[in-house]
């Protein structure tokens, strides 16, 4: 599929699945703006393809998000940026809970809101949130993260109905544990807290997937391009699981 003449804004595009999504869209002919907090990693991704431009932007900074998305004027917005922390529920500090909500839910809200504004009056648009299987079910030790991702899915379903007759679809993609840097940090955290080997820690995460694999970020990127391609106009308000059959 090719999308010449369209533009996209991808948050968290400096690493992990965000970088893979940005590259897939750019290779399909989309002019892509990626954002994140780390200029060095953003520049490294932008250097890999002439269709990718980088801008430093913290998605929890309302003014910065407004400015960055208005400047990009995108037809496609992928709210990908997020973070995860783990602790038992009773040991979770309020500040940790607030961080998870701020990055994973409020940041996604700001991104989708400004994306919807940018698409106002256009005949076509795509708003996509990268949520998680944690938005569809519970996992131990990540209750604030799961709460935020459940919120993202509820927000997506509500916004989809608001925009349903305006040519803009709104969907969430829900990967299981991805084979990315974020999962690498989760593995390191398991090693530190349990004394397991890295191989044992990785296997414990793979075991949540019926295929016993971590999800390739390329699979998520392919779902993004599918949602932006022909034949997707009737797909809106959905939470699409990319998780090897995890339920």
Q: Which helix (DSSP H) or strand (DSSP E) does residue 243 occupy?
A: none
Residue 77's CB is within 10 A of a number of other CB atoms, namely: 29
Contact 21, 33 (CB under 8 A): no
Please spell the DSSP secondary structure of 41-86, one letter per residue: HHHHHHTT-TTEEEEE--TT-HHHHHHHHHHH--SEEEE-------
Residue with tokens 């997707």: 232
Known catalytic residue at 145:
yes
Using CB atoms within 10 A of its CB, is residue 226 exposed (0-12), middle (13-18) or buried (19+)?
A: middle
Question: Which is catalytic among the residues 14, 145, 228, 239?
Answer: 145
Q: Which residues are catalytic?
A: 145
């Amino acid at each position: 599929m090719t999308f010449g003449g369209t533009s996209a804004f991808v948050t968290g595009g400096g690493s992990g699945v965000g970088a893979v999504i940005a590259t897939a869209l750019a290779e399909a002919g989309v002019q892509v703006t990626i954002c994140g907090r780390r200029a060095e990693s953003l520049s490294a991704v932008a250097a890999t393809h002439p269709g990718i431009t980088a801008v430093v932007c913290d998605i929890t900074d309302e003014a910065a998000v407004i400015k960055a998305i208005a400047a990009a004027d995108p037809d496609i917005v992928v709210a990908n940026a997020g973070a995860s922390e783990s602790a038992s529920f009773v040991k979770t500090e309020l500040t940790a809970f607030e961080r998870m909500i701020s990055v994973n839910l409020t940041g996604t809200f700001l991104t989708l809101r400004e994306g919807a504004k940018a698409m106002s009056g256009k005949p076509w648009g795509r708003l996509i949130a990268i949520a998680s299987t944690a938005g569809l079910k519970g996992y131990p030790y990540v209750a604030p993260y799961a709460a935020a991702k459940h919120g993202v899915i509820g927000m997506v379903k509500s916004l989809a109905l608001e925009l349903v007759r305006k040519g803009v679809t709104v969907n969430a993609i829900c990967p299981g544990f991805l084979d990315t840097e974020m999962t690498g940090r989760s593995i390191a955290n398991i090693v530190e807290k349990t004394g397991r080997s890295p191989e044992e820690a990785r296997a414990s995460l793979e075991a949540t997937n019926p295929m016993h694999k971590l999800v390739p970020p390329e699979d998520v990127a392919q779902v993004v391009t599918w949602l932006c391609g022909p034949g997707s106009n009737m797909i809106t308000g959905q939470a699409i699981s990319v998780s090897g059959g995890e339920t």
